[in-house]
């Protein structure tokens, strides 16, 4: 059975902004890759009603996931209804158990938006609960003993909630897949005007590319990169486990600024 990597992000297009390049490189390294947006994108619009935007954003996300051969997983809740609570955790744990990933890519405990922070917290707890036999899943699914390493992506704003810079501890070179990442983000056509007007991103494609160039420059050797912070391995995997480094040897480096 091939090794598996899973991206668990909040809204449709979050994976494309900060995680997709690494997910593609893991696919190229032989991993089966999985794609999940915890929220359905219901509020990412200023022109469509609920019944229109939810299926629209679902189809956009499916198109993006198909582009890289990722297994698509359905969303769980509406936007701004992502809460760190037992009901939502009970729905995510069976998905993580079914996939049994060696790597989870998700948001960090820092971001401008609570939806992102809560999704990351739920992903971390779902990974932690993967082997707890008595944890109540909805639907039920047996516990697994697969070790998993969690990596946190960089926030969209590159700053935490208090406007402090977030510094990655490692980088993955995505220079040769930046155009695929851009094509994936382009699938989210409903977001062009919305992100321009709601968050001042100008062109969301240009914004994504500039962020990847920023991390590439920070790495000191890559043109485009994604930055990551490895979660504390206690309860998840061996203390020295770093499967990103193992799988992506030639395109992965530690942050030289932290050496």
* CATH code of the domain in which 163 resides: 3.40.50.10320
pTM of the entire predicted model? 0.96
Average pLDDT over residues 217-228: 97
State which residues form the domain around 69.
Answer: 4-258
Q: How confident is the model over 198-213, as pLDDT tens digits? A: 555 557 888 899 999 9
pLDDT surpasses 80 at 255: yes
The number of residues in the chain equals 259
Q: Which residue has the tokens 């003993």?
A: 145
Long-range contacts formed by 128-136: CB under 8 A, 24+ apart: 128/235, 128/236, 129/89, 129/93, 129/96, 130/93, 130/96, 130/97, 130/100, 135/90, 135/93, 136/90
Average pLDDT over residues 27-50: 95
How far apart, in whole angstroms, are the C-alpha atoms of residue 181 and residue 186? 9
What is the count of structural domains for the chain?
A: 1
Q: Is the backbone peptide bond immediately before 92 cis, with ω within 30 degrees of 0?
A: no
| Number of other residues whose CB lies within 10 A of the CB of residue 142 | 10
Q: Is 170 helix (H, G, I), strand (E, B) or coil?
A: strand
Helical H runs in 32-177?
Answer: 50-67, 86-99, 114-128
Q: What is the mean pLDDT of the chain?
A: 94
């Amino acid at each position: 059975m091939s090794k598996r990597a899973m991206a668990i992000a909040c809204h449709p297009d979050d994976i494309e902004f900060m995680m997709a390049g690494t997910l593609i490189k893991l696919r190229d390294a032989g991993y089966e890759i999985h794609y999940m947006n915890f929220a359905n994108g219901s509020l990412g619009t200023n022109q469509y009603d609920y019944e229109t935007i939810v299926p629209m954003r679902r189809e956009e996300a499916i198109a993006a996931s198909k582009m890289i051969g990722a297994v698509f997983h359905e969303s769980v809740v509406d936007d701004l209804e992502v809460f760190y609570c037992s009901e939502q955790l009970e729905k995510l744990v069976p998905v993580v158990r079914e996939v049994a990933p060696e790597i989870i890519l998700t948001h960090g405990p820092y971001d401008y938006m609570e939806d992102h922070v809560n999704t990351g917290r739920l992903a971390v707890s779902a990974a932690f609960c993967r082997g707890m036999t008595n944890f109540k899943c909805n639907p039920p699914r047996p516990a697994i003993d697969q070790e998993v390493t969690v990596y946190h992506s960089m926030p969209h704003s590159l700053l935490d909630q208090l406007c402090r810079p977030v510094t990655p501890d490692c980088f993955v070179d995505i220079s040769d897949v930046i155009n695929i990442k851009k094509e994936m983000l382009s699938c989210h056509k409903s977001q062009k005007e919305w992100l321009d007007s709601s968050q001042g991103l100008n062109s969301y494609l240009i914004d994504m590319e500039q962020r990847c160039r920023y991390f590439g420059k920070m790495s000191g050797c890559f043109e485009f990169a994604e930055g990551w912070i490895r979660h504390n391995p206690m309860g998840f995997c061996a203390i020295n486990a770093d499967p990103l480094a193992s799988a992506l040897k030639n395109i992965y480096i530690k942050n030289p600024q932290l050496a």
